[in-house]
Amino acid sequence: MAEDNPPLLPLQNMADRHQALTPAVASSYLEAARVCLDRHHISPKEFTLGDDQAESVAKVEWEITDSRVQAAWANVDDATRDGAYAVAIAATELLRGMVAVRRAETRTGADYYIASSDQDLEDLEGCFRLEVSGTHSGKSEVKKRLRIKLEQARQGNSNLPALAAVIGFRVQLILLQTVDEKS
């Protein structure tokens, strides 16, 4: 389902748009994402985006990592987690017009609070929770992780609505789904 001119996933300069990402954090997450992308691909690549029932395509562009960056992110679990944060936050910005406003507390069933970019970003009451995961496995693992993350968000100690996002770095797949509060 390739589009002629797909939109660019907004991974660059994320600290300029996302209150919850300082320049250092955004840069770190981007480095991790670049390492994860370099494991499987050469820039640019088209990724399939699943947003609830809608499917689209986005172009992902990144600068190749050198040996120093790869060595800094040699822990695959840390790189995958932090790289998934970058891609998931960029995907919610692209697909939903939402920005990261604050890191979520432990046991909320989320990693970040996100909100519409035109909303009062100091008030968490109008926010959504965003639960994120990343994997280098196949499509079936991406879908399995999405089910797990949806349930984790449902069980979180928060009454705010939630989204779950899973990034399949190898299979070029980004799944974003609204959490249905029904079991």
Residue pLDDT, tens place only, 67-76: 999 999 999 9
Residue 119, pLDDT score: 78
Residue 69, pLDDT score: 98
Q: What is the CA radius of gyration of the chain?
A: 15
Summary mean pLDDT of the chain: 94
Residue 182, pLDDT score: 59
Tokens at 68, concatenated:
């120093």
What mean pLDDT do residues 152-176 have?
A: 96
Residue 124, pLDDT score: 81
What mean pLDDT do residues 133-159 have?
A: 96
pLDDT band at 3 (very low <50, low <70, confident <90, very high): low
pLDDT band at 183 (very low <50, low <70, confident <90, very high): very low
Please provide residue 162's backbone torsions phi and psi, each rounded to the nearest 5 degrees: -140, 155
Whether 152 and 133 have beta carbons less than 8 Å apart is answered as: no
Bridge partners, 58 (sequence order): 47
pLDDT band at 126 (very low <50, low <70, confident <90, very high): confident
Residue 82, pLDDT score: 98
Residue 28, pLDDT score: 98
Helix residue ranges, H only, 20-115: 23-38, 67-72, 76-96
Determine if the pTM surpasses 0.85.
yes
Whether 114 and 127 have beta carbons less than 8 Å apart is answered as: yes
For residue 113, pLDDT over 90 is answered with yes
Question: For the packed helices 23-38 and 76-96, what is the interaxial angle rounded to 10 degrees?
Answer: 110
Q: Domain ranges in the chain?
A: 14-177
